[in-house]
A and B are shown apart, each in its own frame.
Chain A
Amino acid sequence: MLTAGLGLASALLIVAQALLVAALLGALVTDGSVPGPTAVRTLGALAGVAAGRGLVAWAQERFAQRAAARTIAELRSQVVAHVVALGPRWAPGAEAPGTGGAQAATLATRGLDALEPYLVKYLPSLLLTALVTPAVLLVLGVLDWVSLVIALVTLPLVPLFMWLVGVMTQGTSQRRLVVVQRLGAQVLDLLAGLPTLRAFGREIGPGARVRALGEASKKATMGTLRMAFLSSMVLELITTLSVAVVAVGVGLRLVHGTMGLTAGLAVIMLAPEVYLPLRAVGAQFHASTDGLAAASAAFEILQTPVPAAAAAAAGGAVRALVLDDVSVHAGDRAVSAPAGLSARIPLGSGTPGGGRVVVLRGPSGAGKSTTVDLLLGLLRPDAGSVRLELADGRSVPCSARTGAAWWWAQVAWVPQRPAIAPGPLRDVVGGAGTDPGLLADAARTTGLDTVVATLPHGWDTRIGLGGVGLSVGQRQRVALTSALLAGSDRPVVVLDEPTAHLDAAGEQVVLDTVRTWRDAGRTVIVVAHRTSLLALADQVVDVAARSHADVPVLAVTA
């Protein structure tokens, strides 16, 4: 609203400027001189116009961006929340077919910024076309009806060609996007693999490939630009040529004496203003396609149906987890992992001595981590069912659809690849304001204290996204400590390969921790490769994959 008002004010000031200049100049050229007071009055009015234009331009710049920034922030937060709600297969690392985790990450971080020029420039210029163009035409008509006719004939050609621009670039701009994205992914893949390539001494060859990919992308882009620019050239041609035609027409009528000089000057100054808003729309057209592409990508994600959380579907303590003939397709492989898994996992009593340790066992690739996702209700099985048996005897399906928050509130979870939020180590592990005593205790249990001792700033060391600055084993300890602290009021602990990156002595610490949890009455569900954990197991669930040809996949067990 403010934008429109400012735009209209700016246009009116330009009209006033044209009329004032034309009046003074016309009189000067026709009569050779103008009475002093008139000249001073006109120049004074022009100075007023200058001040007004300055003020309007300032206000436009000052306020336009703010609204756009808010809109983008709002959309970003919605997209992020929605992607998380869509489940583990949408995480940026997971490239299972049919999901767009990585694209969602690009969109939420960088892609949505394309909306800014769309909101700040394209939409206002569209609005101005509707407001300013008729106003200027009106003034033009009063001054010289012939010029008005020329403008009225040529104006519709502009949207016509813009429509052509749209039709011609719609497909190509999307193709270009695909090409550019593919190039980006390939170049990035090569760069991400550079350490590996260097180790093999094969880093030189792909350099030529990066160059070739770049050349290919340049060719593709130039091809579409040639077409896109051709359309906008026609646009520019029509508008500039129309102004020239108006000028020549005015000149010829002046020669014949059918028109006054003042009106003629005003007309040639105003003629470009008639086309200006439309040209601005044309100039921002690419911003609009990029913006619309970003917006539609965002809405596509937002419209992907999320398992809607039915409010307070169930609650209370869980007595057992029941897997009944559960299968999940493993990405693009012709394999189900797990396949036909059935098990009843009773949970511990919660009282000291009543705890349980449940080990999920199976060769790598059997679907152990997927089983964890199922038990947490993050993933829905492609066949079979996962149910929670409640203490009051009821049995409810386990999925995010039924609103699993009450179930998650009972679980502490350390996944296979714990992602670590950036920030000071103290906050990352325990959240701000954790009791230092508790922190130290937990760190001693997991061996994180020895890690902290080697860090330059101890607990205040800032670690980057994904735990930059820590080795894989250290990250595991951070995640474990974090789960220990969060787990103090969560009766169920889920550990996915907790010993994978720990040495034998460190492994012992984890074993002790698991034992402590069991002694405290908690249930520990562990994905394990090591035999050492099996010693603690009260129950072992064997997980196996099966190819779709119904041949059991015996992944190296010998």
Chain B
Amino acid sequence: MTARDPLRTVLPLLEVPRWRTVRAVLLGSLALGCSVGLAAVSAWLIARASQMPPVLTLSVAVVTVRATGVGRGIFRYLERLASHDVALGGMAALRANLYDALARGPVTGVVGLRRGDLLARVGADVDDVGDVVVRSIVPAGVAVVVGFGAVGLVAAFLPSAALALLGCLLLTGVVAPWLAARAAATTEARGARARAEVTARTLGILDEGQQLRVSGRLDAELAALADADARLTDAGNEGARTAGVSAAIGAVAQTVSVIAALWLGMGALAAGTLAEVELTVVVLTPLAVFEVTSVLPAAAVQWRRSREAAARLVELLPGGVPAAPAALGPATARRVPGLSLLTLTDVAAGWPSVPVPAVVGVDLTLRPGSVVALTGPSGIGKTTLLMTAAGLLPARGGMAHADADALFLAEDGHVFDTTVLENLRVARGDVTPDDARTALDAVGLTTWLDALPDGLDTTLGGNATTVSGGERRRLLVARGLLSGARVLLVDEPAEHLDAAAADAVVAALAAHARSTGGAVVVATHRLAAARDADEVLLLGAEPAGGPAVVKARGTHADLLRDVVGYAWAEGQEAAVPPAPAR
């Protein structure tokens, strides 16, 4: 009523052809139709047989009974294959579409996600949405077809009994599922927080278990996990009460429909409007029909669960039309020396989700060969400014204009679960092993490469934790060198490196820019790394807490001379040479 049903938004992403779903419903209806037919025909057979007619008059019924006995199994098999085919295909398509949507949507939606959250969404949530086909849509369709079919069959003999049957079917097919869904809602409303807490605490303990052990907080954390789990159990208990009523309705309705058929049938028999054999069919058919509605409460619960999962997936999807990342035509590079590669004019930078920009009033022009260092205390907005310059974030004010492709190298860039070479080929598809070695050498990773068991073909572990922090940083810088982008915007390239290695990496970046006619901006809080730069921009918040501005700019030497804090901070870094052991 209020918002668009999230399932309706997500279901098209499953790319399921309608006829496939219809086929599954038809096969399912045939299977359960066989079941109902078996009951109806064998009832007729037995009642007719008790009147001792010639055996030949029964032969059609006998064959029908046997055929339905065989048909049920076969049609059910075909239906299950058809519906699972639909569901699995849908899940695969949904995952691919999610990827595409995330790839084309604004980058902020992707960056804000944690690994665990992502795992839950592309894993369990997609499964839940896919399950709606097998567990909700197909069973509901089958129930409608077979339910009305059975009501029609009974109506042919005794309309009043058909009406009673319809009433009982609606009770089990509509009221019971509604109650079951409500029970699930209760469980979820009370359980969602508990479940989230259980997951968060579990991952938290596993992640920082060693720290908890050492600090002696482990037992307390385990107890908190047990408490959260107990709350989860309680929530399930709460919902079970309503679910119990739903189950009771299902059980009672079947017997009630038989009682009604017997009662109404007795009257009709006495009135002579119903034959004895027909009475048997009217009474025994309902016994088999309720099999079709027995799965509907579970189907309703699944529908609800799928809708919740779909809502979470919709959250993940970028709102509205997928916007192409800010105009950065890679082919617009005009290779005329002296012209600017990237211009920032009075740019304000900030995350769209934060009301106030982190940095304001930045002017910067990058020409071929420019090497610029961006410094300032951590958290001041260096990363945000770089991302804005790269067009990954929209400028909050002023104008960012790129005439060449600008590449942002994130501090926590992803190292993929594949070989060293393939990881470097993320930059450019046609990187040769020789290119790769040259780039790794430039950042000082040759000895590291030589120690790897399979050289460039060594697979780096999941999330690359077999790579140390420093090696990882240098690998990411090597990837940037190979990219062919003329403007490199590098976030903290010297992190996790000792002074010498850090300076070598910054020097490699500067040399790369000068030799290729590109430009490099290095964000670093380590001032010594700024020595190689043509220009240093020092960011700082003038009234503390307000947005940051460029407090000073100039060469490293200028700033050392003019800015008191700068010289002091630089002195802190370099003051002491490595001391021998005392």
Contacts and interface: CB of A to CB of B under 8 A. Distances in A.
Interface of B is mostly: helix
Nearest to B566: A504
Contacts of B84: 221-222, 225
Given A197-B103, A218-B85, A540-B579, 19 more contacts: A30-B50, A61-B246, A65-B237, A95-B462, A191-B118, A191-B122, A195-B413, A204-B103, A206-B103, A236-B77, A241-B70, A255-B55, A268-B43, A332-B466, A364-B468, A376-B214, A431-B217, A500-B495, A535-B576
B491 to A, nearest CB: 10
A168 interface: no
Interface string A227-259: 001101111110011111101101110110100
Given A62-B241, A265-B46, A332-B466, A472 B411 contact: yes
B531 interface: no
B504 A503 contact: no
Contacts of B211: 413, 415, 418-419
B525 interface: yes
B193 to A, nearest CB: 12
A453 B545 contact: yes
Given A24-B262, A229-B80, A465-B114, A419 B122 contact: no
B124 A110 contact: yes
B469 interface: yes
B383 to A, nearest CB: 8
A456 B100 CA distance: 34
A94 B453 contact: no
Contacts of B212: 84
Task: Give the interface size bracket for A toward B.
Answer: 35 or more
A421 B208 contact: yes
B68 A244 contact: yes
A544 interface: no
A532 to B, nearest CB: 5
Interface string A394-416: 00000000000100110111011
Contacts of B483: 200
Contact of A237 (B74, B202, B452): B74
Interface in B198-241: 198-200, 202-218, 221-222, 225-226, 229-230, 232-233, 236-237, 240-241
A243 B38 contact: yes
B114 A468 contact: yes
A538 B204 contact: no
B119 interface: yes
Interface string A96-116: 100001101110111000000
B112 to A, nearest CB: 8
A484 interface: no
Given A207-B99, A233-B73, A247-B42, A335 B451 contact: yes
Given A39-B266, A365-B448, A540 B466 contact: no
Nearest to A466: B114
B552 interface: no
A268 B288 CA distance: 12
Given A257-B52, A269-B287, A474-B379, A192 B279 contact: no
Contacts of A313: none
Contacts of A304: none
A105 B77 contact: no
Interface centre among B46, B233, B499, B581 (most CB of A within 10 A): B46
B213 A84 contact: yes
A529 B252 contact: no
A255 B49 contact: yes
A501 B412 CA distance: 13
Given A198-B103, A207-B103, A221 B123 contact: no
A486 B216 CA distance: 10
Contacts of B496: 364, 497, 500, 529
A336 to B, nearest CB: 11
Contact of A409 (B118, B216, B218, B284): B216
A211 B444 CA distance: 37
Contacts of A434: none
Given A504-B569, A537-B579, A92 B206 contact: yes
B95 A419 contact: no
A252 B58 CA distance: 9
Given A248-B62, A363-B501, A109 B199 contact: yes
B89 interface: yes
Interface string B366-387: 0000000000111100010000
Nearest to A49: B255
Given A211-B96, A230-B77, A422 B200 contact: yes
Contacts of B110: 194-195, 198
B549 to A, nearest CB: 16
Contacts of B466: 95-96, 330-333
Interface in B29-77: 34-35, 38, 42-43, 45-50, 52-53, 55, 58, 61-62, 65-66, 68-70, 72-74, 76-77
Interface stretch (B20-28, B145-153, B158-166, B401-409): B401-409
8 contacts: A95-B463, A214-B95, A218-B92, A240-B68, A264-B50, A333-B466, A363-B470, A472-B412
Contacts of A24: 262
A189 B31 CA distance: 42
B103 A553 contact: no
B167 interface: no
Contacts of B399: none
Nearest to B579: A534
Interface string B561-582: 0000100011011111111111
B259 A47 contact: yes
Contacts of B225: 76-77, 80
Nearest to B104: A203
Central interface residue in B61, B208, B408, B499, by most chain A CB within 10 Å = B208
A250 B570 CA distance: 100
Contact of A61 (B58, B240, B573, B576): B240
Contacts of A531: 499, 573-578
